[in-house]
Amino acid sequence: MLGAELRRIREGLNLRVDDVAARLGWHQSKVSRLENGRHGVKANEVGILLDVYEISDPETREALATLAREGKRRVWWQPYSDVISQRYASFISFEAEAVAIRNFESSLIPGLLQTADYARAVTRKLQPEGTTEEVNALVDVRLARQNAALRREEPLKLWAIVDEAALRRVVGNKAIMAKQLQQLIAASREPNVTLQVVPFDAGAHPGVLGSFVIMEFPVRNDLDVVYTEALTSSLYLERDDDVTAYDQAFDRLRAAALDVGPSRRLVTQIAKELE
């Protein structure tokens, strides 16, 4: 986030990386690594860069200095570093800084709304080679993510749109699935959670190509990031055109989905069928 904002400011001033490096007496690779998020940056270095860019606004300077300090802090998921992949850790770090998330899921219940049993059943299928201890640790991470995001002092605002297929796909067994849907109903009543369901009779929709997450951050709206995931890779999209395309897709999914009340009634109906 910090690197992207520093790059945006530099490009807005029509400055090249080597121009900035020359002014500061830094190697140009250092500036590039800072902007790419591959090198830590101290708060005082942020101040030096902003002086070069002639950014005097106190709110902007403090916000970016805070990002630099936050990047150095010990995070809650560090004890799990032996069981979570680097790409999962990166996703968690983005999620921890986001103020709002818009999530469309085509096949599974959103991770932030999963029960422990449902998460365990999914993890076992996705990582069949994992030991019981590893699977349980990943479930612990999932629950810790929920607590850190949805129950913090200023809870994350989550807008989740789920395809009906995710509700009817029995993960684990019917009892596990019924409890998962009850949990989904309870979560949908929380003030920071909005849940909608795209019913089968909506036909084809923009989400048929796959799930995605749009993360919104407190510093600037144009730092929003889109996250998509495949079996062996994940992708973060931050270009304005890409983010706009996913914003529009989410808006079309909202229009295709049932409103909040009817969505909750559909989840309740399916839960009763399972019970």
Task: Give the burial class of 69: count Cβ atoms within 10 A of its Cβ; 0-12 exposed, 13-18 middle, 19 or more buried.
Answer: exposed
The predicted-structure confidence for 50-89, as pLDDT tens digits, reads as follows 888 888 888 888 888 877 776 656 577 777 777 888 788 8
Q: What is the CA radius of gyration of the chain?
A: 21
> Directed axis angle between helix 28-35 and helix 2-12, to 10°?
120
CATH 3.30.870 domain span(s) along the chain: 85-273
Tell me which CATH code domain 1-72 carries: 1.10.260
**39: pLDDT confidence band, cut at 50, 70 and 90?**
low
71-75, 142-146, 198-202, 236-240: which range is least confident on average? 71-75
E strands along 34-113, which residues?
100-105
Mean pLDDT across the chain = 88
pLDDT digits (tens, 9 = 90+) for 87-120: 888 888 889 889 999 999 999 999 999 999 999 9
In CATH, the number for domain 85-273 is: 3.30.870
pLDDT of 219 reads 63
175 half-sphere exposure, CB direction, 13 A CA radius: 1
Which residue ranges does the chain devote to CATH 1.10.260? 1-72
Looking at the DSSP bridge assignments, the partners of residue 103 are 160, 213
SS3 of residue 53 by DSSP: coil
171 has pLDDT over 80: yes
Q: Is pLDDT above 70 for 169? A: yes
